[in-house]
Structure 1
C-alpha cells in the first residue's frame, strides 16, 4: 500500500510539473500591431495570420483603390471588415480620401491634399469642422458595412500631423495614433534597398514593451511584399521573446478611447 502511495505521489508530482511546464509564461511586454489600408493585396493573408495566432490588432481605414479594381470601403469589402469585427479587432479612421496634411493656416484652418476622391491630387483649404467631417465619413461608412462604429482613434496619412490637425480631431473626439521608430515595418520602402530579411531583423532587434507597430494591407510599389515574408516570423520571434499583443483599446495612452 505504501509503495502504491509513493508511486502515486511521484506521478502526481510529475503531472504537476508537466502542467507547470505547459503553462504560458507571463508576458514580458506588449506590442500593439496596427495596419493601415492600402492596395489590400495582403489583406486576407494578414487577417488569416492574426486569426491563426489569436492576435488582436488595430486597423486604420481609408477608402483606397485596391488590386481588385474597387475601393477598400466599397460594399464588396463588407464581408472582410465584418470578419475582422467578429475577430475582436479595433478600428480607427485614416481619413476617407487618404488626405495628407500640407500646412497649418491661421484660425485653425489647414491646407490638405486628398489622394483619392473627387478632389484627389488637389490642394484644399479646410476648417477644423471640415477635417472632422472627413474623419467621420469613415465611421459612417464602416457602420453601414458592419453595423459597428469605429473606435475614436485616427491615424493621419503618412503620420503627418500638426497643432491644427490634432486640435480639429480632438474637437470631435478623435485621438491620433502614430507608431514607434522601431515599429515602422518598412513595407513602403524599396524591397531592393530594404529586403524583408533586413526589415524583420530590425523589428525583432529593436521593438520593446509598449511599442506600436505599423504596416499596410498591401503596398502598390513594393516588388517583394512585406507581409507574406515577415508577418508570421515577426509574430513568432516576438512571442519567443515573451511579448504579447493587444489592440489600442488596451494601450495605456488610449484606454479612455474605448469603443463608442
Structure 2
C-alpha cells in the first residue's frame, strides 16, 4: 500500500508534551489511573485487513483497558469470507459493547486514482464486483460506498458508525476530500510516528525496529495506525509489537482514547450520548 499524509488533515492537533526518546523497559506497567496523571494521549486506530490478528488486538486492548477506533471495509479474511460478513458479527458486537469507536473505510476498500472534471473521481475498488477496474464516480456514488459500511454495521451491531472515515491507503485528492465532507464524514489520517509499518516487508522492517521507532517518536495527540491483519507480512506485527508498544507508552505516562475525544474531532460528538 502507498500511504500519504496531508498536513491539512492534521490541522489543529495539539502537541502538549515532547517526551524523551528511548525504548521502554521490557516489563509491562499499569496504565495511569486517571487522565489527570497522563503526560499525553495516544489515539490507537486499526483498519480491517485479513483479520488474522482481530482477536489478539481485542484481547490486548481489554487487558490494558484501552478504547481504540476501528475503520471498517469488507475485506477478504483468513477464513475465506469477508470482514463484514455475518460470521464476524460477534467480534463487531463485542467491540461496540466494549466502547470502541468506528468509522468507514469504504465498503469495497476503494482506492482513489485521480480527480476528474466536474467534481468526479476516478477510483479502483480492491474488492466487490468491480475489483481491480477503474471507475468514474460522482461524489454521490462515493458517499453511497461509504454509507454501505454504516448500513452493514447497523445490521450487525444495531449501532451506527461514528462520522469518521479513512481513505484506503490514506490517499486523498481535493475532490475526494470534498465528497467525504459532503457525505458527513471527517477524514482521519495518522501522525508520521503513528505509521506502524505493519504492511511493510518484515525482512527489511523487522518488528523490533518498528517498535523502537514508534516508542521513540510518538507524542501527545498522535494518531497511530495498524491493521487487523496483513496478508503480505511474513512476520506479523501485532503479536510481536502491540503489547510491548502499549506497555512502553504506559510507562512513559501516556493514556489512550478513541477519536471521539481527539481535539480535532471531538466537536463532532458534542452533546451526543456515548454510543
TM-score w.r.t. the length of structure 1 is: 0.90
- Which one of the candidate residues 169, 174, 181 is aligned to 2:180? 169
RCO higher in structure (CA 8 A, sep ≥6): 2
Other structure's SS at 2:37 match: coil
* Aligned partners of 1:114 and 1:121 also within 8 Å: yes
1:141-160 equivalence runs, <5 A = 141-160=152-171
2:22 aligned partner: none
- Whole-angstrom distance in 1 between the partners of 2:61 and 2:33: 22
- Whole-angstrom distance in 2 between the partners of 1:95 and 1:225: 24
- Which one of the candidate residues 35, 47, 51 is aligned to 2:62? 51
Q: 1:124 to 1:23 in 2, by over 3 A?
A: closer
TM-score w.r.t. the length of structure 2 is: 0.85
Other structure's SS at 1:179 match: coil
CA distances 1:40-95 after superposition (whole Å, capped 9, x unpaired): 00000000100111000000000000001110000000000000001100000000
The answer as to 2:215 corresponding to 1:215 is no
Other structure's SS at 1:92 match: strand
The answer as to 2:113 corresponding to 1:102 is yes
- Whole-angstrom distance in 2 between the partners of 1:158 and 1:256: 26
- Whole-angstrom distance in 2 between the partners of 1:113 and 1:172: 19
1:244 aligned partner: 255
Between Structure 1 and Structure 2, how many residues are aligned?
239
1:7 aligned partner: none
Other structure's SS at 1:233 match: helix
Structure with greater proportional helix content: 1
C-alpha deviation, 1:201, in angstroms: 0.1
- Whole-angstrom distance in 1 between the partners of 2:190 and 2:155: 29
- Structure 1 unaligned regions, length at least 5: 1-21
2:122 aligned partner: 111
2:24 aligned partner: none
1:73-92 equivalence runs, <5 A = 73-92=84-103
2:147 aligned partner: 136
C-alpha deviation, 1:106, in angstroms: 1.3
Other structure's SS at 2:159 match: coil
- Whole-angstrom distance in 1 between the partners of 2:108 and 2:264: 27
CA distances 1:82-115 after superposition (whole Å, capped 9, x unpaired): 0000110000000000000000011110100000
C-alpha deviation, 1:162, in angstroms: 1.0
- Whole-angstrom distance in 1 between the partners of 2:203 and 2:193: 20
- Whole-angstrom distance in 2 between the partners of 1:186 and 1:169: 26
- Structure 2 unaligned regions, length at least 5: 1-31
C-alpha deviation, 1:257, in angstroms: 2.3
